[in-house]
Structure 1
Amino acid sequence: MKKFLLTFVAAFVAFHSFAQQKDDQERGWKRENLFIGTGINLGFFNGFVIGLNPEVGYSLNKVIDAGVSTNFSYISQRDIYSPTTYRQTVVGGGPFVRIWPARMIFVGSQFEYNTINYSIKTNDNVTFKDKRSAPSVLVGIGYGNRNVGANQFYTSVYVDVLKNVNSPYVDQFNRMTPVIRTSFIFYLRPKQ
């Protein structure tokens, strides 16, 4: 019994000392967790949306990514009842976080502050121009492959929960419109 207890205590101490050593090695900045990527927005309706969302981020651990994203979008919409076209050129950016509770599914949030050049064109003449700005908090879910250190691809759907009247993510009735993005991530030092 004494030998069993001594063996158990020695194994317990050895296991915990190796566990502590592994934790010490995993702490600190790791260049292989740094990634760059971009998202692409594309939508068609009685107009169209095209956008690009470059980002730089860091995988904090196997579950959480955080970083900074930018937003460049062009939105054009025709009025179906008159010869009027509404156009927006959007430039913005802000921090993001993605949490992967399962390997292929994530929840995300992104704060953006957008500057919007807005114009209305009627019968080939620009009748109104305006510069606007709006904060947005995008919250949503996504589906993709999750493997820290390997290139990734995902598709996400976000909505603007702030619903600012000038937000590019709400319609003329201040209803949330979904933001659908397909994104690619490339780690700067991929796993070998």
Structure 2
Amino acid sequence: MKNFIIPLFIMISGSMFSQVSIGASPENNNRWTFGGGIGVGFGSQSSFYLQASPRVGYKLTEDLEGGVVGSVSWQTSDYYRSTMFGVGPFANYYFARSFYVGANLQHYFINYKDKFYNYKVNDQETALYLGGGYMQRIGSNSFMQLGVMYNVLWKENSSIFSSGLVPNIGFVVGL
């Protein structure tokens, strides 16, 4: 089943972004950008993970972009269920049209339930991600971003996240 679903998601997301960039011209004066990423994962104990993070940005200059990013994730397994929502501002600086550095402040709302012990948690956490990466052009004004971010507010024993390091893959239309 995994061998079917993952390639299906890749084809769907690739076709959506290729359709958006059809007919776009290099002289596009629109300063708005749109994009985001999706994630899906499977694991042991019937675990399943689904995540989406849409973003809307505005080009302040040709190389500087600011905007708002949101995220929603849903996880379930034989032992737990978790839902997490996040929202916050971001800023990216692009150089050589192939690389970027960025900052992203996210405030998360977490709902967690342990099915075995009937333990529930409703919590909040703020994360400040700093990092950067590489951009690959996939259309006239569309890019795929591959990068790494680090949550500088992450603390090992007090965070809901297992690590401060976050690899990311996303798409941006309008740059």
What TM-score do you get using the length of structure 1 for normalisation? 0.63
Consecutive unaligned residues of structure 2, counting only runs of 5 or more, are 1-27
Aligned residues: 144
SS in 2 for 1:32: coil
Distance, in Å, in 1 between the alignment partners of 2:158 and 2:39 is 19
> Considering only CA atoms, is the larger Rg found in Structure 1 or Structure 2?
1
Q: CA deviation at 1:119?
A: 1.3
The reply on whether 1:140 has 2:127 as its aligned counterpart is: no
The reply on whether 1:106 has 2:100 as its aligned counterpart is: yes
SS in 2 for 1:145: strand
Once the two structures are aligned, what percentage of the paired residues are identical? 28
Partner of 1:186: 173
Q: CA deviation at 1:52?
A: 0.7
Pick one of 62, 74, 85 that aligns with 2:79: 85
Distance, in Å, in 1 between the alignment partners of 2:66 and 2:56 is 9
Task: Determine if contact 1:96/1:111 at 8 Å carries over to the other structure.
Answer: yes
Once the two structures are superposed, residues 120-150 of structure 1 have per-residue CA deviations (whole angstroms, 9 ceiling, x without a partner) of 122xxx6111110011101122211369x81
Q: CA deviation at 1:167?
A: 4.3
Q: CA deviation at 1:102?
A: 3.2
Partner of 1:38: 36
Distance, in Å, in 1 between the alignment partners of 2:147 and 2:76 is 22
Once the two structures are superposed, residues 43-82 of structure 1 have per-residue CA deviations (whole angstroms, 9 ceiling, x without a partner) of 55655543111111012222211100001112457xxxxx
Distance, in Å, in 1 between the alignment partners of 2:29 and 2:83 is 35
The RMSD of aligned alpha carbons is 2.8
Partner of 2:17: none
Task: Determine if contact 1:33/1:58 at 8 Å carries over to the other structure.
Answer: yes
Consecutive unaligned residues of structure 1, counting only runs of 5 or more, are 1-29, 78-83
Once the two structures are superposed, residues 29-53 of structure 1 have per-residue CA deviations (whole angstroms, 9 ceiling, x without a partner) of x961111112123455655543111
